[in-house]
Homo-oligomer: A and B are copies of this chain.
């Protein structure tokens, strides 16, 4: 198996991307293609003492996509950028999956253009995994599609559920529809229509649909997959991040008040470290872009080498999982006439 890593994408690239990619090759025994400026990539590998790592191949790309590039057009305008070259390798079958910490919009555009959607799937969905009480929850979609139809939400539910089952190892993933109340009749027309489709899929035993879930129920662990349109999913995702950051800051202030509280912190340090680990995005890896015919993983922009390594691990698991075939086999149940 060959995993293509965009060596120039992300806030900490090329260092983290190259380092993390090489660590992954060493750790997981699969081939990793590092796409970027050869001299830059080589320099990082050397600096980290990883220049002779087995399974690492450098694929030259002279340019790069940055955060200011227009996502819709950059891959065409910069055909020699590391991301464009990475996608061309994916399309040509020279790699099985793609990992990038670069410009999200460009990655989504590229995934659809070069990876192609699975036949019958209307749109790809960005599906990050967040910590919640008792485990993790996948938000699907969390930003790829601001405008959705009920059929798209049904497809996001199936995609998220299959991912949670086949890659996350969750048995009968609980799928919830994010709504402004738990009653059947809640929501805007989109939610009401999606509820009917999801309920039917649940009744037929094709999804473990647990009904509408309110915003508060998602962090409290009510479902494994939270289905939303890309607009509200993005609002939810970032609200979770913002509240976590706000509260972590306030707790820090509590501990830093005086000598006694600082000693109190020392007593709790182990527990606080575990607590922080809960929200450590680096451990999770990246967000898969679901519905695309080849695995594409968006590592978060500020990924360090561990995050990139974990995103490669995730790409390997995704490639091995048979998830894309499973989507194709079940596509009839995800389509509304």
Contact surface of A with B, Cβ cutoff 8 Å: 132-133, 143, 146-147, 178-181, 187-189, 191, 214-221, 228, 230-232, 234-247, 249-251, 253-255, 257, 260-261, 263-268, 270-272, 274-275, 278
The reply to whether A187 and B263 contact each other, CB–CB distance below 8 Å, is no
How far, in angstroms, from A235 to B179 measured CA to CA in the complex? 7
The reply to whether B246 and A132 contact each other, CB–CB distance below 8 Å, is yes
Which residues in B have their C-beta under 8 angstroms from that of A244?
243, 247
Pick the residue among B188, B234, B242, B254 that contacts A147 (CB under 8 A).
Answer: B188
- Smallest distance from the beta carbon of A108 to chain B beta carbons, Å? 13
| Chain B residue, CB-CB nearest to A234 | B180
- Smallest distance from the beta carbon of A216 to chain B beta carbons, Å? 3
| Chain B residue, CB-CB nearest to A248 | B247
How far, in angstroms, from A191 to B235 measured CA to CA in the complex? 13
Pick the residue among B239, B250, B270 that contacts A239 (CB under 8 A).
Answer: B239
- Smallest distance from the beta carbon of A237 to chain B beta carbons, Å? 7
Number of copies: 2
The reply to whether A261 and B268 contact each other, CB–CB distance below 8 Å, is yes
Q: What 3 A-B pairs are tightest by C-beta distance, nearest first?
A: A215-B238, A216-B242, A254-B271
The reply to whether B220 and A246 contact each other, CB–CB distance below 8 Å, is yes
Which residues in B have their C-beta under 8 angstroms from that of A249?
133
- Smallest distance from the beta carbon of A240 to chain B beta carbons, Å? 5
How far, in angstroms, from A40 to B242 measured CA to CA in the complex? 45
Which residues in B have their C-beta under 8 angstroms from that of A214?
234-235, 238, 242
- Smallest distance from the beta carbon of A1 to chain B beta carbons, Å? 34
28 contacts between A and B (CB under 8 A): A133-B249, A146-B180, A180-B231, A181-B234, A187-B231, A214-B238, A215-B235, A215-B238, A215-B240, A216-B238, A217-B238, A218-B239, A218-B242, A221-B246, A231-B232, A232-B232, A232-B235, A235-B235, A239-B243, A243-B247, A247-B247, A250-B275, A253-B271, A255-B268, A255-B271, A257-B270, A264-B264, A264-B266
